[in-house]
């Protein structure tokens, strides 16, 4: 029969002060490193989420503007309600550094075209689209009495430094021609007819942030107007009903 060893409750074996302090220092270092990694992870996650948010909001707005501008269409409008006189309006009917107005047809011909204005408001930091639905009179479109709706395409948007949100370009005289001639803003009637490229540039910032806040996203894209043949003697967009 074996006997179990007795435990002497009077023994004073244990950690020394040096060992205890060493363990505490090591534990503090590990805890500090863990907290540092956690803080960095949270900061990076927030920054990534902010970048994803600004990029997604900006990309959605840019896609809508590009879609509308690419669908420009010349429109036969009513010019005299009494006589029923009409005229063919160019697809682009106004442009400046902060807005662009144009006719567009997004349907299959069964629905009327619309007159749209994209406006950048630097005070409100928004890009708003105004849509005017026409009324039919004597076989022509009347946009003076049509219903108007507005929608905000983008918030927390700012200009990229001195670069205008909307820029307009015409063909140069080189061979082959390229749309690199910058047009003055706001566009004159003559320059509206010459415009073959519309450039859009803006910076999306996080909510409540600034243009230099982490996560701000710069977006830029170009739209080339349809029916602009650089090989024509007069290489400007041609109207098509």
Confidence band for 5, pLDDT divided at 50, 70 and 90: low
Count how many domains the chain has: 1
- Does residue 98 lie in a domain region? yes
> Is residue 9 in some structural domain?
no
Asked if the structure places residue 230 within a domain, the reply is: no
pLDDT of residue 227: 63
pLDDT tens, residue by residue, 151-177: 999 999 999 989 999 999 998 888 778
Is 146 inside a domain boundary?
yes
Q: Would you say residue 74 lies in a domain?
A: yes
pTM over 0.95: no
Q: Where are the beta strands (DSSP E) in the chain?
A: 75-80, 85-89, 92-95, 99-104, 114-121, 126-132, 135-137, 140-142, 148-155, 157-158, 166-170, 181-182, 197-204, 217-224
234 domain residue, yes or no: no
More confident residue, 228 or 74: 74
Whole-number pLDDT of residue 212 = 67
Q: What is the mean pLDDT of residues 102-123?
A: 88
- pLDDT tens, residue by residue, 67-90: 999 988 888 887 777 777 888 888
How many CB atoms are located within 10 Å of the residue 82 CB? Answer: 5
**pLDDT computed for residue 1 by the predictor:** 56
Q: Is residue 214 part of a domain?
A: yes
Domain span holding position 128: 31-224
Residue 11 lies in a domain: no
């Amino acid at each position: 029969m074996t006997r179990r060893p007795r435990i002497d409750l009077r023994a004073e074996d244990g950690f020394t002060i040096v060992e205890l302090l060493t363990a505490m220092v090591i534990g503090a270092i590990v805890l500090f490193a863990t907290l540092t990694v956690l803080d960095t992870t949270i900061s990076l996650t927030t920054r990534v989420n902010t970048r994803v948010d600004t990029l997604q909001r900006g990309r959605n707005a840019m896609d809508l503007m590009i879609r509308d501008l690419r669908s420009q269409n010349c429109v036969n409008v009513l010019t005299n309600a009494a006589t029923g006189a009409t005229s063919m309006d160019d697809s682009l009917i106004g442009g400046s550094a902060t807005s662009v107005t144009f006719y567009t047809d997004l349907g299959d011909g069964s629905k009327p075209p619309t007159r749209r204005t994209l406006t950048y408001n630097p005070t409100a930091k928004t890009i708003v689209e105004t849509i005017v639905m026409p009324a039919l009179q004597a076989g022509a479109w009347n946009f003076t009495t049509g219903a108007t709706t507005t929608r905000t395409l983008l918030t927390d948007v700012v200009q990229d430094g001195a670069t205008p949100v909307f820029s307009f370009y015409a063909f140069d005289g080189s061979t082959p021609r390229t749309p690199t001639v910058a047009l003055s803003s706001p566009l004159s009637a003559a320059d509206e007819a010459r415009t073959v490229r519309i450039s859009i540039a803006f910076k999306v910032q996080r909510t409540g942030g600034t243009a230099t806040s982490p996560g701000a996203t710069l977006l830029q894209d170009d739209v080339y107007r349809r029916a602009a043949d650089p090989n024509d003697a007069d290489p400007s967009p041609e109207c098509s009903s």
